């Protein structure tokens, strides 16, 4: 064969191959292809700011367009449309339903709006729909039942409303149904039990109400259940335990009540994550939860759970996070300690442990130092824990956040090996000085709060090594001497509070090196010298408090000082300023020509003062004479908590109350300027007395000191005063507690309901802590219940629990068991902050 023949054959073969390939490489007219025309119509209604659909035109083959996939054997038929996160905006065109062989529709994370076309129900081959992260409105089209091949429907994070259409119950092949983060309402339909192929059901963050149906237990293939942030009520159905494939249950932020079903721990051996926080669950933590050997996350916080923490939870060896905070959990009844912490040392993967805002008492066990080496978050705030902080806490080498505030801890601050980022030991009774090693174990700290303790001594210069710290609060202690200039090395500091100490010396100029400082509070110390001039040029400082020190000199009126007020400098007698807004005396010297007028003012003021004193003297003299005549006319008088003598016989106040019919108006003989006179029948009418009840402000001079009588109101005076015990501050604490109980319950201690040994304290204790709203003033409950704010009633209950707890502590019968008033103030201040207000 010649070379010419070979060349001819080669050219012929090449042209034949090229001709055969022509339909798939050259542009085709869209008029002959319905799918192509439908895609162009779909594009017409869209805004495409990023140009992702720029290639969608007739100059190229539509099967090669961005996001379009055609059938491998039917080249002109579209089977998948995937336009994910392209910034597209517009309505979903009904022309999309002409893609009759479409199996996959992915439009997530764009800005599609309007109604979902009902014509989608014509896509009988559709198996996957994802429109999450868009803005479609209206209801879920029931026409989707026509897509009987559907397996996955994801409509999360849209603006859909209405009920779940019953037609979805016909989609028997559905394995994934996600409707979270919408505005859906109604209840979970009973037909949900028909979707037996479901493995993932997401209904979270909607407005669903009613009970979780028992039929949910028919979904035996279910692995994930997201029902959180709705308004579901009633109990958790025990039938959920039939869903043995479950790996995650999320029922948080609902209105669920009752106990946690013990069945959950008996069958759900595959469960890895259990979220039940922020409901109204009661009862004890089921011991059966210890059977969930695969459990890694357990959230039971913000409920009304009570009793002890079962030590069996220590069997959960894969547990990583345990949140039990904000419940009514208590310490062990046998040894009044937190012994269950010892059991948790078996949880070798534990990373976060939150037990704050409960009723735990007793001391921390030394075994706390044996908790997981992976533990980086430990929170035991706002309990009743006492004793010293075990040194073993310092052995938790991974610990970065430690919260032990609002307890009764004492002793020294332990020095450990961990590199803490957040340390809060405020509102305790810690003593001693701030360790010089603080820079070692707080080298990476972001926040240090040791306020409201009894710490003393000098602030160590090593505090300046906390280069990463953003907030330091050492207020309400007894620190003395000078503020170390090394504190200026804390260059990341934004908040510094050293108020209410005994610090001396000048305000260090090194603070000007802290360029991000926004809050500086040095009030109530003994600082001297001038107000630093560098503050004028520091525009970052938003709050400055230098009040009640011994500062002197002139305060500038320019720069940052222009926006400050009187409260920043009050209590410094030596300060002056030319700015009226600072409320300080002017620094200018009085001119000579004003001296005569100044002396005239002095003379006039002294004259007026003398005249007023003379007038007051005359009034007092007349009142005393009149008071004496009134006393001589009275035949009997009664003062609170005191016996009264008649001849050789003693009458108690209780006897006089009975004799006067409870000082009934029917026995009122008359009223005077200083009291009222009642008729009293003694010994069944054999003896009649006139009993005069003096107003306590008109008691004769020297009367109390000679008789031991006490002023007061019925129900407010502590019981020990009636036994002859001297007046003390513990009596004031008792009276404060009674008023606290009265304020929340709106029941006076003299109410008729308090008889036969019942008093306000016993009444409140009968409802404490699980039925607080039964004793709270009904008007407060009605007002909170009427508010259209999620959690309003729960916040009321939380607030009242704090305040009634204070009232109960203050009204202990034994004065030695009452807290000092300083601790009462701390408790109330903390409760105020816990409710989200500034203390």
Coil, strand, or helix at residue 534?
Answer: helix
Which among 839, 822, 823 is positioned nearest to 831, based on CA atoms?
A: 839
Q: How many helices (H) and strands (E) does the chain have?
A: 13, 48
Cα separation, 174 vs 165, in Å, equals: 15
Residue 635 tokens read as 């035949």
Give the rounded distance of the alpha carbon of 697 from its chain centre.
45
Phi, psi torsion values for 126, nearest 5 degrees = -65, 130
Residue 579 tokens read as 């700015």
Task: Give, to the nearest 10 degrees, the angle between helix 792-810 and helix 760-767.
Answer: 140
Cα separation, 356 vs 354, in Å, equals: 6
For the residues of 760-826, what is the DSSP string, one character each? HHHHHHHHTTTTGGGTS-HHHHHHHHHS-STTHHHHHHHHHHHHHHHHHHHT-SSGGGSPPHHHHHH
243 touches 269 (CB < 8 A): no
Cα separation, 100 vs 147, in Å, equals: 11
Q: How far is residue 238 from each of residues 218, 276, 505, 652, measured CA to CA in Å?
A: 12, 14, 67, 62
Cα separation, 747 vs 202, in Å, equals: 47
* Dihedral, CA of residue 38, residue 39, residue 43 and residue 49, to nearest 10: 170
For the residues of 438-462, what is the DSSP string, one character each? HHHHTTT-SEEE--SS--EEEPPGG
Cβ-proximal residues to 746 (8 Å cutoff; 6+ apart), any chain: 777, 778, 779
Which among 215, 165, 225, 224 is positioned nearest to 195, based on CA atoms?
A: 215
Coil, strand, or helix at residue 485?
Answer: helix
Residues forming beta bridges with residue 554, ordered by sequence position: 576
174 touches 150 (CB < 8 A): yes
Cα separation, 790 vs 253, in Å, equals: 10
Cα separation, 186 vs 207, in Å, equals: 7
Which among 600, 544, 592 is positioned nearest to 568, based on CA atoms?
A: 544
129 touches 173 (CB < 8 A): no
210 touches 254 (CB < 8 A): no
**SS3 track for 661-697:** CCCCHHHEEEECCCEEEEEEEECCCCEEEEEEEECHH
468 touches 446 (CB < 8 A): yes
Is residue 471 packed enough to be buried (19+ CB in 10 Å), middle (13-18) or exposed (0-12)?
Answer: middle
Q: Compute the Cα dihedral for 697, 703, 704, 707 and give only its sign.
A: negative
692 in a labelled binding site? yes
Element (DSSP H or E) covering residue 353: strand 352-354
Strand order in the sheet with 384-388: 361-363, 384-388, 408-411, 429-430
Alpha helices in 316-458 (DSSP H): 340-343, 438-441
Q: How far is residue 516 from each of residues 9, 466, 467, 562, measured CA to CA in Å?
A: 83, 15, 13, 20
Residues that constitute the known binding site: 692
Residues that constitute the known binding site for ATP: 692
């Amino acid at each position: 064969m010649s070379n010419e023949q070979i060349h001819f054959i080669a050219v012929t073969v090449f042209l034949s191959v090229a001709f055969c390939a022509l339909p798939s490489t050259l542009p085709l007219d869209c008029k002959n292809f319905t799918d192509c025309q439908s895609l162009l119509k779909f594009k017409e209604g869209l805004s495409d700011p990023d140009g992702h659909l720029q290639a969608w035109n007739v100059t190229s083959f539509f099967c090669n367009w961005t996001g379009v996939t055609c059938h491998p054997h039917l080249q002109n038929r579209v089977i998948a449309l995937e336009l994910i996160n392209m910034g597209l905006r517009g309505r979903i065109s009904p022309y999309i339903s002409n893609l009759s062989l479409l199996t996959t529709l992915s439009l997530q994370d764009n800005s599609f709006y309007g109604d979902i076309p009902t014509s989608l129900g014509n896509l009988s081959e559709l198996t996957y729909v994802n429109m999450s992260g868009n803005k479609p409105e209206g209801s879920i089209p029931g026409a989707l039942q026509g897509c009987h091949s559907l397996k996955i429907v994801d409509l999360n994070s849209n603006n859909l409303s209405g009920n779940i259409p019953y037609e979805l119950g016909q989609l028997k092949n559905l394995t994934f149904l996600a409707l979270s983060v919408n505005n859906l309402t109604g209840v979970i339909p009973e037909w949900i039990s028909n979707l037996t192929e479901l493995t993932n059901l997401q209904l979270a963050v909607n407005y669903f109400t009613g009970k979780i149906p028992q039929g949910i237990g028919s979904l035996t293939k279910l692995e994930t259940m997201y029902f959180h942030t709705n308004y579901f009520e009633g109990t958790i159905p025990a039938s959920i335990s039939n869903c043995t494939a479950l790996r995650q249950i999320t029922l948080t932020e609902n209105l669920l009540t009752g106990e946690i079903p013990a069945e959950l721990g008996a069958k759900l051996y595959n469960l890895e994550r259990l979220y039940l926080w922020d409901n109204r669950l009661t009862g004890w933590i089921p011991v059966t939860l210890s059977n969930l050997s695969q459990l890694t996350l357990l959230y039971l916080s913000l409920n009304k759970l009570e009793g002890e923490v079962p030590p069996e939870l220590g069997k959960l060896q894969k547990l990583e996070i345990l949140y039990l905070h904000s419940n009514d959990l208590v310490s062990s009844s046998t040894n009044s300690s937190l012994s269950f912490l010892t059991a948790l040392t078996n949880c070798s993967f534990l990373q976060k442990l939150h037990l704050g805002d409960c009723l735990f008492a007793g001391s921390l066990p030394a075994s706390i130092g044996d908790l997981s080496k992976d533990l980086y978050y430990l929170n035991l705030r706002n309990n009743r824990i006492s004793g010293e902080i075990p040194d073993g806490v310092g052995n938790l080498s991974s610990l970065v956040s430690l919260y032990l505030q609002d307890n009764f801890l004492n002793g020294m601050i332990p020095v450990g090996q961990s590199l803490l980022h957040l340390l809060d030991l405020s509102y305790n009774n810690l003593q001693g000085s701030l360790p010089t090693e603080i820079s070692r174990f707080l080298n990476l700290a972001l926040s240090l709060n040791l306020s409201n303790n009894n710490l003393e001594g000098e602030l160590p210069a090593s505090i300046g090594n906390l280069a990463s710290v953003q907030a330091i609060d050492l207020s309400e202690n007894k620190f003395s001497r000078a503020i170390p200039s090394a504190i200026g090395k804390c260059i990341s500091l934004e908040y510094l509070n050293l108020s209410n100490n005994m610090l001396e010396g000048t305000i260090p100029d090194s603070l000007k090196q802290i360029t991000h400082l926004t809050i500086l509070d040095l009030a109530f110390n003994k600082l001297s010298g001038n107000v630093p001039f560098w503050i004028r040029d520091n525009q970052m400082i938003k709050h400055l408090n230098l009040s009640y020190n011994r500062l002197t000199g002139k305060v500038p009126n320019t720069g940052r000082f222009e926006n400050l007020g009187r409260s920043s400098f009050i209590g410094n007698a030596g300060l002056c300023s030319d700015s009226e807004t600072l409320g300080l005396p002017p620094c200018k010297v009085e001119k000579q020509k004003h001296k005569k007028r100044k002396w005239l003012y002095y003379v006039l003021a002294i004259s007026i003062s003398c005249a007023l004193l003379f007038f007051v003297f005359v009034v007092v003299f007349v009142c005393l004479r009149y008071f004496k005549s009134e006393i001589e006319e009275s035949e009997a008088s009664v003062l609170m908590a005191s016996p009264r003598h008649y001849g050789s016989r003693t009458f108690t106040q209780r006897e006089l109350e009975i004799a006067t019919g409870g000082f009934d108006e029917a026995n009122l003989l008359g009223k005077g300027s200083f009291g009222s006179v009642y008729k009293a029948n003694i010994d069944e009418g054999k003896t009649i007395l006139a009993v005069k009840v003096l107003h306590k402000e008109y008691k004769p001079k020297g009367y109390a000191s000679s008789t031991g009588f006490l002023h007061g109101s019925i129900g407010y005076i502590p019981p020990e005063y009636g036994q002859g015990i001297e007046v003390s501050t513990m009596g004031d604490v008792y009276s404060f507690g009674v008023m606290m109980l009265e304020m929340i319950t709106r029941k006076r201690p003299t109410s008729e309901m308090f008889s036969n040994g019942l008093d306000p304290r016993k009444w409140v204790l009968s409802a404490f802590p699980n039925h607080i709203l039964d004793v709270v003033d009904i008007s407060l409950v009605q007002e909170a219940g009427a508010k259209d704010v999620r959690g309003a009633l729960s916040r009321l209950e939380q607030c009242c629990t704090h305040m009634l707890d204070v009232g109960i502590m203050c009204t202990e019968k034994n004065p030695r068991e009452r807290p000092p008033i300083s601790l009462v103030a701390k408790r109330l201040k903390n409760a105020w902050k816990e409710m989200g207000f500034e203390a």
